[in-house]
Structure 1
Amino acid sequence: MGAGQGAALLVGAVLGPGMLVLPHLAAAAAGPASVLAWAGMLALSVPVALTFAVLGARYPGGGGVAAFVGLAFGRHAAAVAGWWFYGAVPIGTVAGALIGGQYVEASLGVDATLTACLILAAAFAANVAGLRTSGRLQLGLVILLVALLAGAVIIAAPHADAANFTPFAPYGAAGVAGAAGVLMFAFVGWEAASHLSAEFADGKRGLLRATVVTLAVISVLYAGVSVTSIGVLGADMTGVPLTAMLETGIGPAARPVTGVAAVLLTFGAVNTYLAGAARLGAALARDNALPGWFAKGGGPGGTPYRSLGLVLALSVPVLVWPVLVRGVDLDLLMRATSACLAAVTSAGVVAAVRLLPAGRLRTTAAIGTGMSLLGLAFCGVYLVVPAVLALVALGVLRVNARRSYKLGR
């Protein structure tokens, strides 16, 4: 694999359908000053991305963050890191499906929650049937999202108005911190580099090149979307900002285009994350971080049905409870997911400080650790979600250890 193909895979890991709604959520939290949060998160990405690229080059086993954490701090820490990702999937996939639903509602008038339910049902059914998103289809979806974001910026930018940037920081520093908390959703996925190191024709140099190219692409897209969305739509922008930006240039035709694109993007992302979570759950069960019963089902190379069923069982209340109580709060779901994924990223770079040799590499990891922990702090009260998941992981390990001890006696 060349650096170009690797960069495409990394862009797909970092750039997701959350970008369809994050400009709105960040602007709602910080006003025009949300561009500062975008800039800060881009700065965070540099040492974190480089650290994961180095980890992947030195430890090419493909086990991901949990494997690195396990090497550095032992199996209990690895189980906690695994649970942070596994627990984030039911929340994040519901949020992703609702993003697609919002765009469909704006373009076709179909209820957003109903559309989200249909997207989730289709993704679970596809996984039960063993239909995973192919590499070519994933690449096609990445190209579609990049084209949608770039097209929206190019079409809307000439309509920007400097007056939309005043008042610049109506909610002060606290607003910028709040925007950074939800934007963590758009700045995770760099750990995917650690899975790719063995796939490059020129080894670690190819992985580093792909990481640098990905950083450049992400920086241009994120900077363009964040500044243009504020300049054209203002801080009180609609919940479907990409549609509104495209409408400024091509008119009402933008609605069905973005509606169809949003469904494709969110289904592809949800389908992929469910497939990964089902396999992660089975792996956690094999390592005693889940009851062993969940490791079974599906056969060699097949979908672990029991683990997938657990993800389904956890996803249903995430979707149903907010609807019954007060309506779906997409901001809450995105922030809860961000807190879990930020915890995973932080655990990975902390492990890197311990695993990498003294010198420039460890210094980069230390800088990434400091910035990641700062980003984690921006998640605020939502850190209760990864805290609870950590307690669950340790509790399951303890129960399974007691059970094994009794069986041994």
Structure 2
Amino acid sequence: MTEKRVELKKALNPIDVWALALGSIIGFGCFVLPGDWLPKAGPLGAAIAFLLGGLLMLIIANSYSVMIKNFPVAGGEFAYAYGAFGRYHAYICGWFLALGYLSIIPANGTALAVLGRFVAPGLFEWGYLYTVAGWEVYLGEIMLATFAMLFFFYLHYKGVGAAGKMQSLIVVLLVAAVLLLGGGALLNPVTSTANLQPLFAPGKSAIACIAALLAIAPFLFVGFDTIPQAAEEFNFSHDKTKKLMYLAIIIGAVVYATVTLSTAMAEPWQDLIAGKPVWASGQAMYKTMGNLGVVFLMVGVLMAITSGINGFFMATSRLLFGMGRAKVLPNWFTDIHPKYSTPYKALIFVLIISLVAPWFGRKAIIWIVDMCAVGTAIGYMYTCMACYLLSKNNSSQYARGGYGKG
């Protein structure tokens, strides 16, 4: 007797899916790292790199859209690797992605502590426990991260529809904050485009400046690949997937460029970074719009952090669910909640790992994120190769690995 295939409920609309991708693309670093990007590339060099990086990601997104249309199943890249190259390749791809996705959730959770240290110094820095690699671990900050992760776990546990609506709200606030920051930088008499000079980092060619940041573009745009993880839960035609991914990537590139240019316009950017400010963007927004500018920036940071937690909770749990359904992980991961129709055991597993990680300190988590970032590139590679193979064969010949649609 053939075992009945476990499937997820279709509950995500196009806006939720677009928000899922964009919210996962724009992370904490978008608002914190311009001070590191400017000396490497200069304002124009950075902006061009982000836009070119987005264009390159559109090529990869095209392969994803083809695969989603032909194989609309949870598991995304894992499923594509299984269908194209078999179980062992899928195992490698799946675990690289799972480790990368899992590490991003506590990385965002502990980013709340970093934001707290800027916004309200001392508020969460209580209950000192120990120091790991120079990072002081406080019980108060761990509780802050724990609360955030428990909240988003609860949303996903109750149903992906609720999580999707929350993501849409978060992303609207995120985009609004960026628009206000960009508008303030352009219209405020304090700022000037003259502050963008020199347009490229001194001592480097324009090409070298652009290449310096273009090299990390694949990692800046991690998040649009959360869409294939949710493909099984779309309540609309998968033909719309390409437009949703393209829109998320293009807006993501514009957001990166806008925040960086807004930072550089507040004052001559070389003077800004010469003082080695703890938070260059925060200092720039304070000079541009005072406390109101800092509030807009903090809203953007908070929304970027929470959208990442929300998006990768979904992506990680669906990836583990897909791996369980393919018998790469225990069948336990495929259990669906009888009332909420969610892969609740996979969500519980993700929550447990995410709650443990902050106890090791933020710097240790960032090390793991940096090491596991290669998993995303591996996912891109398998998807593009699977798409190429699919173009040479029809879908029934393609799915020799046995996962595919069925």
- With normalisation by structure 1, the TM-score equals 0.69
Is 2:120 the counterpart of 1:120?
no
Is 2:220 the counterpart of 1:186?
yes
Q: Secondary structure at the match of 2:197?
A: helix
Equivalent in the alignment of 1:56: 68
Q: Tell me which of 76, 81, 84 is aligned to 2:88.
A: 76
**1:209-267 superposed Cα distances (whole Å, 9 cap, x missing partner):** 43444344334323323333334463637454553343233202333454455345423
C-alpha change, 1:169 and 1:10, in structure 2 (3 Å) is: farther
- 2:257 and 2:81 map into 1 onto residues whose CA distance is 32
Q: Tell me which of 298, 305, 309 is aligned to 1:266.
A: 305
Q: Secondary structure at the match of 1:289?
A: coil
Equivalent in the alignment of 1:346: 381
Please report how far the alpha carbon of residue 75 of structure 1 lies from its aligned counterpart in structure 2 after TM superposition: 1.9
C-alpha change, 1:139 and 1:248, in structure 2 (3 Å) is: same
Please report how far the alpha carbon of residue 208 of structure 1 lies from its aligned counterpart in structure 2 after TM superposition: 3.7
Q: Tell me which of 143, 146, 149 is aligned to 2:172.
A: 143
C-alpha change, 1:77 and 1:6, in structure 2 (3 Å) is: same
- Within 5 Å, which residues of 2 pair with 1:217-236? 217-232=251-266, 234=269, 236=273
**1:111-149 superposed Cα distances (whole Å, 9 cap, x missing partner):** 686575234311443326835653222101011111122
C-alpha change, 1:88 and 1:211, in structure 2 (3 Å) is: closer
User: Is the deviation greater in 149-158 or in 177-186?
Assistant: 177-186
Q: Secondary structure at the match of 2:73?
A: coil
C-alpha change, 1:166 and 1:80, in structure 2 (3 Å) is: closer
- 2:347 and 2:196 map into 1 onto residues whose CA distance is 51
Equivalent in the alignment of 1:163: 197
Q: Could you say which structure has the higher helix fraction?
A: 1
**1:281-318 superposed Cα distances (whole Å, 9 cap, x missing partner):** 3543454434566666976735644763466347635x
Gapped regions of structure 1 (runs ≥ 5): 359-409
Is 2:118 the counterpart of 1:106?
yes
Equivalent in the alignment of 2:54: 42
C-alpha change, 1:258 and 1:135, in structure 2 (3 Å) is: same
Q: What amino acid does structure 2 have at the position aligned with 1:339?
A: V
Q: Secondary structure at the match of 2:373?
A: helix
Q: What amino acid does structure 1 have at the position aligned with 2:244?
A: A
Q: Tell me which of 356, 362, 366 is aligned to 1:316.
A: 356
- 1:213 and 1:292 map into 2 onto residues whose CA distance is 36
Gapped regions of structure 2 (runs ≥ 5): 1-11, 126-136, 394-406
Is 2:165 the counterpart of 1:153?
no
- 1:92 and 1:272 map into 2 onto residues whose CA distance is 10
**1:335-390 superposed Cα distances (whole Å, 9 cap, x missing partner):** 335322232222212221111248xxxxxxxxxxxxxxxxxxxxxxxxxxxxxxxx
- The answer to whether the 8 A contact 1:247-1:254 is kept is yes
How many residue pairs get aligned? The number is 352
Equivalent in the alignment of 1:400: none
Q: Secondary structure at the match of 2:222?
A: coil
Equivalent in the alignment of 2:26: 15
C-alpha change, 1:8 and 1:357, in structure 2 (3 Å) is: farther
Equivalent in the alignment of 2:291: 252
User: Is the deviation greater in 298-307 or in 88-97?
Assistant: 298-307
C-alpha change, 1:241 and 1:348, in structure 2 (3 Å) is: farther
- 1:169 and 1:332 map into 2 onto residues whose CA distance is 30
**1:188-225 superposed Cα distances (whole Å, 9 cap, x missing partner):** 23334544598476662x33443444344334323323
C-alpha change, 1:169 and 1:345, in structure 2 (3 Å) is: farther
- The answer to whether the 8 A contact 1:100-1:259 is kept is no
- 2:365 and 2:179 map into 1 onto residues whose CA distance is 24
Equivalent in the alignment of 1:277: 316
Q: Percent identity?
A: 17
Please report how far the alpha carbon of residue 47 of structure 1 lies from its aligned counterpart in structure 2 after TM superposition: 0.7
Q: Secondary structure at the match of 1:190?
A: coil
Please report how far the alpha carbon of residue 80 of structure 1 lies from its aligned counterpart in structure 2 after TM superposition: 1.9
- 1:241 and 1:131 map into 2 onto residues whose CA distance is 39
C-alpha change, 1:57 and 1:313, in structure 2 (3 Å) is: closer
- The answer to whether the 8 A contact 2:24-2:308 is kept is no
Q: What amino acid does structure 1 have at the position aligned with 2:177?
A: L
- 1:229 and 1:58 map into 2 onto residues whose CA distance is 43
Q: What amino acid does structure 1 have at the position aligned with 2:375?
A: C
Q: What amino acid does structure 2 have at the position aligned with 1:227?
A: L
Q: What amino acid does structure 2 have at the position aligned with 1:141?
A: I
- The answer to whether the 8 A contact 1:108-1:259 is kept is no
Alignment RMSD, CA only? 4.0
- 1:273 and 1:66 map into 2 onto residues whose CA distance is 16
- The answer to whether the 8 A contact 1:56-1:62 is kept is no
C-alpha change, 1:88 and 1:207, in structure 2 (3 Å) is: closer
- 1:293 and 1:199 map into 2 onto residues whose CA distance is 24
- The answer to whether the 8 A contact 1:91-1:333 is kept is yes
